[in-house]
Each structure stands twice: as structure tokens, then as C-alpha cells.
Chains A and B, each alone.
Chain A
Amino acid sequence: MAVVERAKIYEGTRIPSPIPTVLQVDPKLREEGDILRVNFGPNHPSTHGVLRLVVDLNGEHVEGLAAVIGYLHTGFEKSMEQKSYWKAITYPARIDYVSFQMNELVFVLAIEKLLEIEVPPKATWMRMLMSELTRLHSHLIWLGTSALEIGAISMLWYTFRERDAVLDLFEMVTGVRMHTRYFQAGGLAEDIPPGFAAECARFCDLMEKGIDDYETILDRNAIWLERTRGIGLLSAEDAIALGQSGPVLRASGVDWDLRKAAPYLAYDQVDFDVPVYPNGDVYDRYRVRMEEMRQSVRIVRQALEAMPDGPWIADDRKVVLPPRHELHTSMESLIHHFKLVTEGYLVPEGEVYVATESARGEMGCYLVSDGGSKPWRVKFRAPSFVALEATATCMRDALIADLIAIVGSLDSVMGEVDR
């Protein structure tokens, strides 16, 4: 993947020094005494959770900025060390409550990498389909809330209409609308229900029409353009140095998508494009996400078309729960069921790092196992956490009114930032 047409927005790097994540006020300005320090958050409707930004203002200009996080720290990683693997699968979904399936996926992929278990193709394709639905879900929430914050209130009602349709699909497949715990080590928890393909195809039509609607509302909306163009600039070099990934990186002109660069699941067997925009501003991040939604619909359609038949979970009784009906007739199945539920399965010793392209960028999972049934150490590489590191760089020369647009465009979910 070559870097296409690197953005030439400004000369040199804008990453603050010496602390890359803190924009410090020029001491001369501070001496003049016109600096006003304002706390933005932690409880503010446009912080997507509880984020606190300490902003130093000179009139309307942002001169200093430091992000303070941790208000939503829940200790997921520590809790997961106390749970057997198959219980711990419930945790990652709750870390990022907006793209829950993808977090589940990365943890399950990490377990499977250590187990070296073969996943049946139906499960692989269904995982990909569900991941793309989650990407749509995440981008819809992002679009609705970000537009709401900049004043386009009606967007929220439109995007939540489609978002509800995604949740209806999740409910149909998994029985719950959020935090589905549908992915198991070895495959899926349940077979795909009958009638899902038709419902999902209907949703694809609805979604495509929905994206047209959003673009009609926003693409030529003078206020939207005014508030997003040329704001929150991040060059390609700065984005890579700050570890940005996903839509933020692609909006800075870097053609980088793990689905293409290091394909997992069945992404090498479907056709889709990676949208790349060169300007690195809020508007381009919006454009990248809109294009990504169209591509996700494309992938969902292809996955529906190509969905293979066969088992949905691996046939490995040391890892996978036996089928329910066998419990009444087979002693061995009952024993396996009991052992798997009480003790869990043993995962071979080792350390792995698995990265996937989540809705927000590179979602990674570092998993260390000592050979027992509980993870020794789990560490999530949260793309939201890293995205917030770029606030100081993006906020250079910004006005206080742009702050909300910029923080929104980085698309951080605080649950994932604080874990």
C-alpha cells in the first residue's frame, strides 16, 4: 500500500513539543495575562461520554489544550484475567458499546490464534457480515451525534432510523440488540436464523437510500461545509507518528486499511474500495466515513450472496460446547458441557497480538496465556484512545467553536478510551 498523494496542508510537523499530546501556551502570551483557562467537560453532551479538555483560551483562539481521560475506567483488563476465556468474551463488547461486535471479534480471533483451531467458512463469512453491520451501526451513531453537535439536529433522527434497523437484524440473529456475544472461540454461538438473508437484503436497500438522504442533507449544506472544511488539520506524517488509524488516517491521505493490507476473515474474497481523501480536515473524515458506509453495504450484499452452507462452529469438543440436544442422551457431551462451563477450555501458552480494522481504526488485542483456562494478560489497543492523542495537534490554531467539531470528527468512544 503506497501512500497516495500526501497532503501538503502546511510545512513541517504540528505535533506539540516536548509533550506530543499537550498543547502548551506560549509563555509570552501567559505573561500578558489574557489567557482564560476553561474546563470543557467531563460532563458535556458533545464529549461522547466523559472527556475533559482543559482549554487555554485567548479570546476565541485555543492556545493550550490537554485532554484528561479516565472518568470511565472500569478495569476491564483486570476483570478479564479473573474469568475463563469463554466468560471473558462478554467483556470486550462492553468496552466499545458502539462497535461491540468488532471488539468481540478481535478477542475471539486472538483466542483462536492461540488455540490454532479451524473456523468453518460459514462462521467466517457471518463474522464478516456482522462486523460490517457493526461498522454501519458505529458510523451511523457517529454521523448522527457529530452532526447534532454542530447543529444539524435532524440528522440524528435519520441516522437512528437506520441504526434501529441494524439493531433489529442483530436481535433477529442473536436474540439481543447490543452486546450480543455472538462470536465464540471456534465459530458462532447459533446458526443464522431462517429469513435473515431476505431481511438483511431489505436493510441494504434501506441503508443505501439512507446514505443518499444524509448526503443530500449535508454535502451541500453551507453551514456544514463552513464548519468542517479546513478545520482540525492533520497531515499524513503527523497522523502516522501519532499512531492514528482508520478513517482519521485515511482522511489524511494514507491509503491504509487492514482489511486490504493484511486481510483477515474473508476480506480478500470480496470486492470493496478503500476511500482515501487528501486534506486531513473534519470534512474529509466525514467523507471517508460516508464512503465506508457504502462499501460496508457492498460487502454485506456480497457476504449474503456468498454465504456458505455447513456447520457454524468448529467440531472440537474440548473447546466448543456440545449441541444442546446431545446433553439428554450422551454422557460424554454432558461431561464436556460441565467442564467447559465450570472450568473453561485450556489455551496453549504463548503471546499473540491480533489487529483488526474496527470502525475507528486498528483494534488490537494482546493476549498472553500461561496454558490455563484464564487469560494471563489481556491488553486492548483501543483506536479511540489513540485518536484522542491527536486532539492537541488537530486543535492548533483552532477556535473554541471548532473544538466540538474536531473532537467529534476523531470519533472517540470514551468506554474504549478508558476501558
Chain B
Amino acid sequence: MSYGAVPGFVAEKEAYGETTVVVERERLLEAARWFRDEAGFDFLADVAAADYLGWGGKGVAGYWGHRNGRDINAPGSWGLPRTPEAKPNRFSVSYHLLAIRQGAPRVRLQVWCDDGDAVPSVVPVWPTADWHEREAWDLMGIRFEGHPNLLRILLEDDWEGHPLRKDYPIGGEPVRFSGEE
């Protein structure tokens, strides 16, 4: 099946037997409706956000006790086979869709955004996106426009930062109670 007719279509990619359809961020809601109503993908399995800050370069996340952080992705002595393919923006948000019918077809609907960009919420299309989007907001800092209840879900309401971002250091959680207080 070709997905050229998806509203806001940008690119289609086939890899490891999986189809990825990239759409324009602004027209995500239209594309989501198209997938649900025209293509029959009635089941949203997962919403996964990924941060590509430092992709292909040196790692940026810090490590315990190092002032400059530890290089977590330094190519080993084997060396990386090649520099990974460049990404269009910092964040990707992937919607893993499944059609509940014979053959269980799956497709990955993907949008790209930068820090601070708003991604349209797909809660009106798939109600299950509610908590998935809250989790992406909480841990990755993706702002979903039109979400009815975009609050932190796993961390406390007053948490600072979004820990799954690559620039959030390991061991970087604030100390709640210290001897000085």
C-alpha cells in the first residue's frame, strides 16, 4: 500500500519490514484521521518520542561525577560503520498504528519538531493517546496542542526539565533535602 495520498505527506520509508510515513507537523490531525478512517488503523499502540540531540556526534548526556560529562557514544575501537543519517529536526514523535484485521498491518506515523514546537494532539482521533502524550510531554518535553489535560504524569508536578532529553544528565535530579536547608 502506498501512502502518497496521506494529507501532509512528506516521505515514506521502508526498513526492517516496517513502514514509516512522515507527515507535516501542522497537518498531523488530518493525517491521523485519514489513517483511522480511510486506511482502517483503528488501534494506536504507542506514541514514542525520541531526542536526536547530538545524533552522530559525541554523546551529550553526562555521567556520575564528571564535570564535562562522559562521552557515552564515542565510537569504540571497532569504529562506527558509518556516520548515521542526519535527522531533519531535534525530536521525532512516532505513532505506532495497528489495524485490527487479518494480517495485523502496522505503520509508523512520524512527525518531526524542534524544542518548543507544538505538535497537534491526536486525542480526538484515538482517546488512548491521552496518557501517551502526557508521558511524552513529561519525559521529553514535547508540547501537544489541543490536549485536554497536558500535565506531568510520571514525575511530580513541580519537576524541572524533561529527563529523557539527551541534555538532561544522569544523576541530574534535584536534591530535595540537603543538610544546608
Q: Are B84 and A370 in contact (CB under 8 A)?
A: yes
B55 at the interface (CB under 8 A from A): yes
A364 at the interface (CB under 8 A from B): yes
- Counting residue pairs across A and B whose Cβ atoms lie within 8 Å, the total is 155
B181 at the interface (CB under 8 A from A): no
Q: Are B46 and A374 in contact (CB under 8 A)?
A: no
In the complex, chain A residues whose CB is within 8 Å of the CB of B15: 350-351
B178 at the interface (CB under 8 A from A): no
A69 at the interface (CB under 8 A from B): yes
Q: Are A372 and B16 in contact (CB under 8 A)?
A: no
Q: Are B56 and A353 in contact (CB under 8 A)?
A: no
**Assembled-state Cα–Cα distance A70/B134 (Å):** 12
A18 at the interface (CB under 8 A from B): yes
A371 at the interface (CB under 8 A from B): yes
Give the total of B residues in contact with A, Cβ under 8 Å: 58
Interface 0/1 of B52-81, CB less than 8 Å to A = 100110000101000000001101111011
In the complex, chain A residues whose CB is within 8 Å of the CB of B73: 370, 372, 374, 376
Which of B85, B100, B101, B168 has most chain A Cβ within 10 Å? B100
Q: Are A371 and B81 in contact (CB under 8 A)?
A: yes
In the complex, chain A residues whose CB is within 8 Å of the CB of B101: 1-2
Q: Are A114 and B16 in contact (CB under 8 A)?
A: yes
Q: Are B153 and A69 in contact (CB under 8 A)?
A: yes
Give which listed residue, A240, A258, A348, A373, contacts B76 with CB less than 8 A. A373
**Assembled-state Cα–Cα distance A258/B98 (Å):** 11
In the complex, chain A residues whose CB is within 8 Å of the CB of B153: 69-70
In the complex, chain B residues whose CB is within 8 Å of the CB of A379: 46, 48-50
Listed by A's residue number, 17 A-B pairs whose Cβ atoms lie within 8 Å are: A1-B102, A2-B101, A73-B154, A78-B164, A78-B168, A82-B170, A241-B42, A243-B45, A339-B78, A346-B80, A349-B82, A351-B15, A351-B18, A353-B45, A364-B45, A366-B48, A385-B131
Known A21-B149, A70-B152, A352-B16; further 6 A-B contacts with Cβ < 8 A? A73-B154, A75-B163, A350-B15, A372-B73, A376-B73, A381-B96
Residues of B in contact with A (beta carbons under 8 Å apart): 15-16, 18, 20, 42-46, 48-52, 55-56, 61, 63, 72-73, 75-78, 80-82, 84-85, 94, 96, 98, 100-104, 106, 108, 123, 126-128, 130-131, 135, 139, 148-149, 152-156, 163-164, 168, 170
